[in-house]
Chain A
């Protein structure tokens, strides 16, 4: 296996403002994000050889036409990718293969979701079987949080600290959904959504789109970002049971998909001590408890049950050891499902280039993006670094 390391370069990124965007549809959002990325790359739509577009809900879009139609790129190859909430980073993964193989030179990766078109009461619940119905998204992740409360003694305060940190970061980011810092008290007194997860433990339900232009490094050398394009150091995807409720051996303490993807990605990138080598991580904090699990699953703490201490000690702050979600994360930046994976890569890319929209992490070396989908079932980990 030759892997993807150093074979793909990100040369342009774009992202809309995330939020409840009632007056725009997915076409507006996708066009804005795609053109921002193309402008950033100094390219035009005609330069694009192929498109990968990610979205989850079928009311947002279906088929490659989700991107081709709004961009009027008729005749170009395009594929829609769906892999739960990890759809965005999986679209990126597939696009990387296309570029690395040499089949295409320049590929546009984009993700979009227009959740608010179905109302603002959480994610529309999907069920595919008469009786084997999952829970709501908070309900699914609460099953893991609940177990950590029981087994590891995690507390509501542990969760609240994650929300406070991410709100602080998001408040500084002009494109974030929520721009208001909160207090521990705010988080602790919020109404319950799915015990133990209260309203401030749940990420925003947002509309938005994000896009990236990728190519091979030898081509990147002749583009606008020739001096600061960002290299893909690793990209890994792992899929575990999408019905973990029925897996008797599952301990519900973290997500094995993340652990598997992280292991593969670290190996590919040559990272031995992630806590020392990773400067910042945009992780999938769909819920505050999930961020704590991610810290453990990504190996940023020795014992995963100590993740709350990592946050409480400020080690996850922008100035901390590993800045976790300097954008505000899903919690505060927002989570338009199909867009999130691309939005994470947008953020990490700009951080590595020293042009973050919000808080800038100082002298970052490696940046990590972690996208998680389903009931912790699908995990994608990407590691990026600026060119030498």
Chain B
């Protein structure tokens, strides 16, 4: 097998909340550490796409043959999400798309499908993107434990991080689970779910893949393991014969359990540190376990501009308290603002909305957005070349708008007119920031977000944020 991982990306939302704050709000015990919190305009898909964008830094998106989206919390019950990702990631129209859902193990299920695809020759390059924002019931430690994040790997027929072995193990333990009518993750008996579900199956899969490959645990630089809670990953490591020092930080104290994105996020952190010649073990769990061996046979590309997990961990803002968290999660069930929308219009304009395409006037050279028929600068008609716009620009002018959908907001929404690098002027809402930080000349970058629920579908588009570094 030569197939493996060519590139990877991570995404951790900007906001965190300390678990102590969450426990204090309910008067219940707190877990240690903090968790990552998706902003109110983020969901599993937007986070997966952010990670996908990271994985494609320095790589031509046109070279990708398939994109797989993985989540236990896909924003649509009926409607594919990978197709949205294909456009937001500006992939070719012929790209093959698939969603992998229903289990926290979805990302390795998809990874296996990706490897099989490149091995079989049906695809040369497959992007696996995962994002999750699992709903933890308020007033329980679930709410504290779960965290929101995204992660992605780009699988290639010939890659520096070769997958040299794979083992799977089925495990039919009911728990955790969520039926369509369940608002929060359900659990019946944590001891069963952990000890006889997660720990047993994951350790078995790890031992099985070691045996298949004829490897000893000591021959691994790191093991990137899915971790459902704060403690039991240590049991997996022990039962698999791994030393604690080989265990990649499972990010539970900083991000929390990121569901279907978790294993790939921990893997991304391991890949950030791994060198050519080293070996990694990846194991994932959810209704069974997958374990695989990665041989770093060549140098992994480390393109400038791709953020490491450590950078994402450092780029953060603490929510002031549980109220802010509850608002981001809309725990008060406030109705969505009524915004006019239409799937017809949305469909017609996907190139400018999702692909982030503008047009360069071939007469005067000015890049324009959205794509007009007649040039706004020189009046040339239908003389444009469609171009990909930059994701970075500077604030030309801005306001902090307290009025939105006929409501007065105490915290205003920053809206900025932005001149993009390489041309094009756009008008975006600025997210993931303290509104008072926005200034003329400030550098912003685009980020893929869910704008609103007009016409009762997810209206995705780009917003701007201060550059996360």
Residue numbers of A with Cβ under 8 A of B are 118-119, 121-122, 124-133, 135-136, 138-139, 142-147, 150, 191-197, 241, 245-249, 252
Contact = CB atoms under 8 A, between A and B. Distances in A.
Contacts of A150: 397, 440
A116 to B, nearest CB: 13
B24 interface: no
8 contacts: A118-B406, A143-B397, A192-B400, A194-B401, A196-B399, A245-B427, A249-B377, A252-B396
Given A138-B403, A143-B398, A146-B440, 12 more contacts: A121-B408, A130-B454, A130-B459, A131-B459, A135-B415, A136-B404, A139-B399, A139-B403, A143-B415, A247-B376, A248-B366, A249-B366
A193 B424 CA distance: 29
B376 A241 contact: yes
B405 A125 contact: yes
A294 to B, nearest CB: 19
A190 B89 CA distance: 44
A150 B395 CA distance: 12
B79 interface: no
Given A246-B425, A246-B427, A247-B376, A136 B342 contact: no
Contact of B417 (A133, A138, A143, A192): A143
A249 B423 CA distance: 11
B69 interface: no
B196 interface: no
A122 B403 contact: yes
Contacts, number: 115
A92 to B, nearest CB: 29
A328 B401 CA distance: 25
B407 interface: yes
A136 B370 contact: no
B51 to A, nearest CB: 22
- From B368, B401, B424, B426, name the one whose CB has the most chain A CB atoms within 10 angstroms: B401
B403 A248 contact: no
Contact of A135 (B401, B419, B425): B401
Given A130-B341, A131-B459, A142 B399 contact: yes
A249 B399 CA distance: 19
Nearest to B346: A130
A191 B408 CA distance: 11
B352 to A, nearest CB: 8
A362 to B, nearest CB: 39
A125 B412 CA distance: 16
B267 to A, nearest CB: 34
B425 A121 contact: no
Contacts of B326: none
Nearest to A133: B339
A248 B367 CA distance: 8
Nearest to A195: B400
Contact of A146 (B339, B370, B399): B399
Contacts of B377: 248-249
Interface secondary structure of A, over-half rule: loop
B353 A130 contact: yes
B402 interface: yes
Contacts of B367: 248
A252 B417 contact: yes
B345 A130 contact: yes
A121 B404 CA distance: 10
B191 interface: no
A372 to B, nearest CB: 18
Nearest to B377: A249
A130 B423 contact: no
A130 B342 contact: yes
B401 A147 contact: no
Nearest to A241: B376
Given A150-B397, A252-B396, A245 B406 contact: no
B451 A122 contact: no
Contacts of A136: 401, 403-404
Contacts of B368: 246, 248
Nearest to A147: B397
B369 interface: yes
A289 to B, nearest CB: 11
Given A130-B342, A241-B376, A248-B424, A121 B406 contact: yes
A138 B409 CA distance: 14
Interface in B412-449: 412, 415, 417, 419, 423-427, 440
Nearest to B451: A131
Given A129-B345, A130-B454, A248-B423, A194 B406 contact: no
Given A125-B405, A194-B399, A246 B339 contact: no
Contact of B415 (A128, A139, A197): A139
Contacts of A133: 339, 451
A127 B366 contact: no
A200 to B, nearest CB: 14
A76 B366 CA distance: 50
A135 B339 contact: no
Contacts of B231: none
Lowest 5 CB-CB distances: which A-B pairs, in order? A245-B427, A142-B399, A139-B401, A136-B403, A131-B461
A146 B398 contact: yes
A126 B451 CA distance: 16
A131 B353 contact: yes
B408 to A, nearest CB: 6
Contacts of B427: 245-246
Contacts of A146: 397-399, 440
A119 B406 contact: yes
Contacts of A129: 345, 349
Given A131-B353, A133-B339, A246 B399 contact: no
Contacts of B423: 248
Contacts of B404: 125, 136
B340 interface: yes
A156 B307 CA distance: 40
Contacts of A126: 340
A32 B425 CA distance: 47
B253 to A, nearest CB: 37
Contact of B396 (A127, A138, A147): A147
Contacts of B345: 129-130
Contact of A246 (B369, B398, B401, B407): B369
A145 to B, nearest CB: 8
Nearest to B404: A136
Contacts of B366: 248-249
B402 A194 contact: yes
A119 B408 CA distance: 13
A139 B413 CA distance: 10
A192 B414 CA distance: 13
Nearest to A129: B345
Nearest to B344: A130
Contact of B406 (A125, A132, A192): A125
Contacts of A122: 403, 406
A245 B402 contact: no
A143 B416 CA distance: 8
Contacts of A252: 396-397, 417
Contact of B401 (A131, A138, A247): A138
A119 B369 CA distance: 34
A204 B430 CA distance: 28
- From A118, A128, A191, A193, name the one whose CB has the most chain B CB atoms within 10 angstroms: A193
Contacts of B370: 132, 246
A92 B433 CA distance: 47
- From A131, A136, A138, A245, name the one whose CB has the most chain B CB atoms within 10 angstroms: A131
A245 B399 contact: no
